[in-house]
Amino acid sequence: MSIRSLLGLDTRAERYTYGLDPVAGYVSTQKIPDRWVATTCGYCSVGCGMFVGVKDGRAVSVRGNPDHPVNRGNLCPKGLSEHHTIDASNRARQPLLKRDGRFTPIGWDTALTTMAEAFRRVQAEHGPDSVGVISTGQLVTEEFYALGKLVQLGLGTRSFDGNTTLCMSTAVAGYKGSFGSDGPPGAYEDLERADVILLIGANIADNHPILCRRLQANPGTTLIVVDPRVTKTAMMADLHLPIRPRADLALLNGLIHIIIERGLVDHDYVDRHTTGFDALKESVREYTPARVAETTGLDPGLLYETAAIYSTANAAFIAWTMGVNHSTKGTETVNAINNLALITGNIGRAGAAPFSITGQCNAMGTREAGFASSLPGYRKFESAEDREALAGIWNVPVERVPAARGLAYPDIIEAALERRIRALWIIATNPVVSFPNLGALTQALEGLDFLVVQDGFHPTPTSEFADLVLPAAIWGEKEGTYTNSERRVSKVNRAVEPPGEARPDFNIFLDVASALGVKEELFPGWSVPRDAFEEWKRVSAGRLCDYSGMTYEVIEEQGGIQWPYPAGATDPAATRRLYTDGVFQTADGRARLIPVTWEPFPEQPTGEFPLVLNTGRTVEHWHTRTKTANVPILERLSPHAWAEMNPRDARGLHLKAQDSVDIVSRRGRIRDIELRVTETVAPGQIFVPFHYAEANANQVTQSAFDPVSREPNYKQSAVRVERSCPSGGLGASLWRRSERP
């Protein structure tokens, strides 16, 4: 501090002046940009349109796009402060190679050669699939498409998956099973047009607040929320069903049982557009209201009421998120949701859809561009016809196109543990915070011969393990498209230059292709994301996710276009829904009603671990906080993790609000976390947000995965809560001792 400011002669008044921006209005001068760059928010899958304000080459402000059909100018607190992520102090700025345990800056050329040599060496010794690649839903579709091609055709490994397996793969698997293809059938507009909305395991008030606004625009709807916690969303509901943890599948089967028993089935729809009704009817026979009431902890009357409200609606909408997906029975639960929608004909109409609200900004793009759970354009690995079509477009021999899916994310980690995978390339994701059962993961990472972490940030808990760190551009520094939950393809634009030597992921992929000697074969003449987009349009042409009628320019003009938008399509502003004709992507064109069975969750509470741990999110933070921990205002609003416990349990454990506690499972311990005592969680359960590396919830979660989608069962871990070792000195320990009975 200068003498002048110590004396009070200088109040830094120049920093606190205001001026008039022609668009944003009267605002702090610091925030007035030279120009506004239109783009799409890079956090969640709602896909809000926004502008980034750029001043002297720096992103200084953002504002919602008032004309964007998704958000009409609104942004959540993360979006409103998103420009701060770009200036974060922990941005990765140059390639780093670990030598003798220390990161040393190296040039890009050395980095790329080192990486290509290391991967080729490992593959030569241990086979092509011994190099694993874990990507992300954070990339633009162009990048994801290029990466898939590079990995599957160039690097030649099938050990390729993304962090989308930690959030959305269950929805993918469920949709594929029921409808023959991935692709959420509804649109956000359905939230405004449904007369019944059933939210299952979805706390949209915290996690998708801009969608919440749609509910307000639909005052007459009946909102039913199924959640074991009294979330902010549950509090908005007309009817909250506080089911026991993981009783969702039993509830859905129970509702179907009542609907069939009461003759509320839309037989016309079922007969014309589905198969398997008899088997479904048989399978739900045992899900009597009495039994389901016992499993879910709900009153049988509530079950009847819910079944009646849902099945008699003119248009009923079901949306779900992680409460359903993070489960070993997730895929089956999605099938049950689809069953419920199908037997009541609530699909393919305005206001009626079983709708998965996606997680990341471009999780949907990764699903379309594929290469992990399916081939690009929702093509099937097992279909020779699909493979030939792709080989034709790419001008490669059909044998180069993989004929079976490789390892999924958890299986890649397991293979690394078993040393079947020796090298790993992790792109824009942070498994050391986000992957379940941390101990197993770190053991896997430590056992690798070579780990490349490509990220916009360094250090991150994951990049610390890396042998090579590749600095990447992030949102705001690169161009491409994102697809949101309602299949709306929106444009993402570069507002500022990446810091230091960081490069857009797209350029890094092309550079790696060059280093591997496959650039000209796979990406002939490519230099910008538009090159990938043009090829992707051809790949998607004629598929469910048809982009062939889109151009960057029209996407931008319209605030995004929902697919399918085939060549020749004329109205980009139209709201699109899938399956409006009742024809599905199965061989016979009929949706499949799939009998599914409820089972108790795998790790039941015991005397030693008597509580059920549920994990989730808070509105201020995104994923593992690599971004939001560097946004000062978000850190200010939610600076540390906490555990929520019902007062009855707290009394039993002689714990009080603000006590520091440890959460212990069979696998590990979350240390020193603040206890919050609240009636929003049921007795016998606790809740911890999963964002915080310092109080990593995945130290206690389990290695249990859905058999189809391979998504982790993050929820329902058996734990106990202990008072943390006193850290407040003698006085505190005396006090704590005296508190004990």
Q: How many CB atoms lie within 10 A of CB 678?
A: 16
Near another protein in 313-352, by CB under 8 A? 313-314
Unique residue bearing structure tokens 């199924």: 226
Contacts of 688 (CB under 8 A, 6+ apart): 613, 614, 615, 641, 642, 643, 644, 663, 670, 673, 695, 697
Among 7, 89, 101, 587, binds another protein (CB under 8 A): 7
- Restricted to residues 346-365, the positions that interact with another protein (CB under 8 A) are none
CB closer to another protein, 240 vs 422: 240
Q: Which residues pair with 39 in a beta bridge?
A: 50
Query: Between residues 9 and 404, which has the closer beta carbon with respect to another protein?
Result: 9
Retrieve residue 308's tokens: 């009646």
Q: Contact between 439 and another protein (CB under 8 A)?
A: no
Instruction: Pick between residue 195 and residue 294 the one whose CB is nearest to another protein.
Output: 195
Provide the minimum distance between the beta carbon of 286 and another protein in the complex, in angstroms, as a whole number: 23
**Per-residue binder mask for another protein (CB under 8 A), 123-152, x = binder:** ------------------------------
Interaction between residue 22 and another protein (CB under 8 A): no
Our finding on whether 74 is near another protein (CB under 8 A) is yes
Strand partners, 97: 104, 468
Residue 28, beta-bridge partner list:
18
Choose which of 115, 448, 515, 677 interacts with another protein (CB under 8 A). 677
Q: Measure the CA angle with vertex 50, ends 46 and 55; round to 5°.
A: 145
Taking CB under 8 A as the criterion, the residue among 15, 102, 737, 740 binding another protein is 15
When asked if residue 309 is in the footprint of another protein (CB under 8 A), the reply is yes
**Contact with another protein (CB under 8 A) among 392, 633, 654, 725:** 633
When binding is defined by CB under 8 A, the residue of 305, 464, 672, 694 that contacts another protein is 305
Is-contact 624 607, C-beta < 8 A? no
CA distance 399 to 387: 9
Q: Per CB under 8 A, does 619 bind another protein?
A: yes
- φ, ψ dihedrals at 503, nearest 5°: -125, 155
For CA atoms 512, 517, 522, 528, the dihedral sign is positive
Instruction: Tell me the three state secondary structure of residue 662.
Output: strand
| Using rule CB under 8 A, residue 729 touches another protein | yes
Spell out, one character per residue from 443 to 482, where the chain touches another protein: x when CB under 8 A holds, - when not: ----------------------------------------
Would you count residue 88 as binding another protein (CB under 8 A)? no
**Residues between 521 and 540 with contacts to another protein, criterion CB under 8 A:** none
Amino acid at 463: S
What are the distances in angstroms from CA 66 to CA 24, 70, 213, 220, 732? Answer: 11, 10, 14, 25, 53
Nearer to another protein, 97 or 239 (CB): 239
φ, ψ of residue 310 in degrees (nearest 5): -65, -50
The one segment of 23-31, 455-463, 519-527, 701-709 that binds another protein by CB under 8 A: 23-31
Nearest residue to 31 via CA among 20, 42, 40: 20
Residues 250-269 that bind another protein (CB under 8 A): 262-264, 266
Which residues inside 207-246 make contact with another protein, applying CB under 8 A?
Answer: 209-210, 212-213, 215-223, 230, 232, 234-236, 238-240, 242
If one asks whether residue 689 binds another protein (CB under 8 A), the answer comes out as no
Instruction: Name which of 37 and 309 has its Cβ closer to another protein.
Output: 309
731 secondary structure, DSSP code? H
| Part of the chain binding another protein (CB under 8 A), chosen from 94-102, 112-120, 674-682, 712-720 | 674-682
Q: Is the peptide bond before 566 cis (omega within 30 degrees of 0)?
A: no
* Least spacing, CB of residue 735 vs another protein, in Å: 5
Q: How far is the CB of 76 from another protein (least distance, A)?
A: 6
Nearest to another protein of 20, 567 (CB atom) = 20
Stretch that binds another protein, among 68-76, 419-427, 503-511, 661-669 (CB under 8 A): 68-76
Q: Do 554 and 481 meet the contact criterion of CB atoms below 8 Å apart?
A: no
Of 4 and 99, CB closest to another protein: 4
CA distances (Å), origin 371, targets 145, 185, 365: 8, 22, 11
- Cα 595 to Cα 257, 275, 284, 301, distances in angstroms: 12, 11, 8, 24
740 binds another protein (CB under 8 A): no
The reply on whether position 630 binds another protein by CB under 8 A is no
The interface with another protein within residues 634-663 (CB under 8 A) comprises 634-637, 646, 657-658
Among 37, 55, 58, 77, binds another protein (CB under 8 A): 77
- Please tell me whether residue 599 binds another protein under the rule CB under 8 A: no
Q: Which is nearer to another protein, 226 or 561 (CB)?
A: 226
From candidates 403, 676, 694, 722, binder to another protein by CB under 8 A: 676
Residue carrying structure tokens 């230099």: 527
Residue 29 contacts another protein per CB under 8 A = yes
- DSSP structural state of residue 31: G
Helix (H) or strand (E) holding 63: strand 58-64
| Minimum CB distance to another protein smaller for 272 or for 419 | 272
Q: Check whether the bond before 712 is cis (ω within 30° of 0).
A: no
State yes or no: residue 304 binds another protein (CB under 8 A). yes
CA atoms within 13 A on the CB side of 570: 0
DSSP summary character for residue 712:
B
**Closest to another protein by CB, 115 or 270:** 270
Give the residue with the Cβ less far from another protein, 124 or 235.
Answer: 235
Contacts with 22 (C-beta within 8 Å, 6 or more apart), sequence order: none
Among 308, 417, 569, 653, binds another protein (CB under 8 A): 308
Nearest to 445 by CA among 426, 472, 469, 473: 426
Number of residues in contact with another protein under rule CB under 8 A:
91
Q: Considering the rule CB under 8 A, would residue 725 count as an interface residue with another protein? A: no
Cβ contact 197:215 at 8 Å: yes
Which C-beta is closer to another protein: that of 48 or that of 426?
48
Q: Read out DSSP for 549-576?
A: T--HHHHHHHT-EESP--TT---TTS--
Binding region for another protein (CB under 8 A) out of 273-281, 606-614, 677-685, 690-698: 677-685
- If DSSP codes are grouped into helix, strand and coil, which group holds residue 259? helix
Least Å distance between CB 20 and another protein?
7
CB of 192 to another protein, least distance (A): 8
Contact 166, 435 (CB under 8 A): yes
Contact between residue 73 and residue 64 where contact means Cβ atoms under 8 Å apart:
yes
User: Given strand 239-241, what is the order of strands in its sheet?
Assistant: 239-241, 222-226, 196-200, 316-320, 353-356
Closest CB to another protein among 447 and 582? 582
Q: Which of residues 274-293 bind another protein (CB under 8 A)?
A: none
> 25 or 568, CB closer to another protein?
25
Is 280:595 a contact under the CB 8 Å cutoff?
yes
Q: Does 682 sit near another protein (CB under 8 A)?
A: yes
For the bound state, the minimum distance from the C-beta of residue 203 to another protein, rounded and expressed in Å, comes to: 10
Nearest distance from C-beta of residue 239 to another protein, angstroms: 6
Q: Measure CA of the first residue to CA of the last residue in the chain; give whole Å.
A: 52
